[in-house]
Amino acid sequence: MLIETERPGCVLRPWHERDQPGLVAIANNVKIWRNLTDLFPHPYTEADADAWIALAREADRSVHLAIEVEDQVAGGIGALAGSGVSIATADFGYWLGEPYWGRGLATAAARALAGVLMAQRRFARLQAPVFAGNAASMRVLEKAGFVREGVLRQSVTKDGALMDSVMYARTAT
Ligand SMILES: CC(C)(COP(=O)(O)OP(=O)(O)OC[C@H]1O[C@@H](n2cnc3c(N)ncnc32)[C@H](O)[C@@H]1OP(=O)(O)O)[C@@H](O)C(=O)NCCC(=O)NCCS
């Protein structure tokens, strides 16, 4: 799956084994880890990058893509498919390496992937529980057509601290 975004030079494409060094270089950052689930490790080692790339390439119903900016790996974006009663739901997530922040790239990537997944009717619901205080990500989701549904009180323990998260979702209808 190759997805063009509204930003020239920014595309979403499958992960490749050769992305390992570039992935480690941008992912090994506590400022990114602090805002993501523990699926994203810290420190971020070469072995972590290898494991992630293998998992991403094997994904079946889930979608895990690299965000590429001017031919460099700049981050990741994806939709983790639910199961059981949540079969039509996917957890939507993304991150960018710090040098790429503040340029509208996450917004472009989120709009592009959410738009394609909704058009494909691949999931009925894309949801993103954003950790309290992550205003930039909440703004990204709003600009990508997600609706703020409510506060999940004391739902997250990160870096030893208990905090709220805010549920955002975009539905097919
Ligand atoms: C969150 C993240 C993806 C944002 O990426 P980005 O490319 O810098 O985001 P964009 O430039 O597309 O948009 C950010 C928006 O948030 C706004 N913003 C940034 N910091 C903000 C703050 N502290 N308070 C309020 N708004 C803020 C920007 O002004 C922009 O909105 P605008 O276009 O209306 O001005 C990036 O910082 C990141 O990877 N963080 C770590 C991982 C993470 O948080 N992932 C999301 C988990 S839910």
Locate the domains of the chain by residue range. Answer: 3-124
Nearest CA to ligand 1 atom 29: 136
Report if pTM > 0.85: yes
Share of the chain above pLDDT 70, in %: 100
Dist. CA 106 → ligand 1 center (Å): 7
CA 56 to chain centre: 12
What's the pLDDT score for residue 1? 86
Counting from 1 in the atom list of ligand 1, the atom nearest the Cα of 35 is 44
10 Å CB burial of residue 49 (0-12, 13-18, 19+) is: buried
Three-state secondary-structure class, residue 70: coil
What's the pLDDT score for residue 173? 86
Share of the chain above pLDDT 90, in %: 98
What's the pLDDT score for residue 143? 98
Question: What rounded mean pLDDT belongs to the chain?
Answer: 97
Is the beta carbon of 32 within 6 A of some atom in ligand 1? Answer: yes
User: Can you give the length of the chain in residues?
Assistant: 173
> Which residue in 68, 142, 131 sits closest to 105, CA to CA?
68
Is the beta carbon of 112 within 6 A of some atom in ligand 1? Answer: no
Q: What is the pLDDT of residues 106-156, one digit of tens each?
A: 999 999 999 999 999 999 999 999 999 999 999 999 999 999 999 999 999
CA-based end-to-end distance of the chain: 24
From residue 98, give the alpha-carbon distance in Å to each of 30, 86, 139, 169.
Answer: 10, 33, 17, 25
Is the beta carbon of 110 within 6 A of some atom in ligand 1? Answer: no
Inter-residue contact 133 to 148 (CB < 8 Å):
no
- Assess whether pLDDT exceeds 90 at residue 105: yes
- Assess whether pLDDT exceeds 90 at residue 59: no
Is the beta carbon of 40 within 6 A of some atom in ligand 1? Answer: no
Nearest CA to ligand 1 atom 31: 139
d(CA 71, CA 132): 33
d(CA 30, CA 172): 34
What's the pLDDT score for residue 160? 95
Is the beta carbon of 94 within 6 A of some atom in ligand 1? Answer: yes
What's the pLDDT score for residue 102? 97
Nearest CA to ligand 1 atom 21: 136
Is the beta carbon of 128 within 6 A of some atom in ligand 1? Answer: yes
Is the beta carbon of 166 within 6 A of some atom in ligand 1? Answer: no
CATH code that applies to domain 3-124: 3.40.630.30
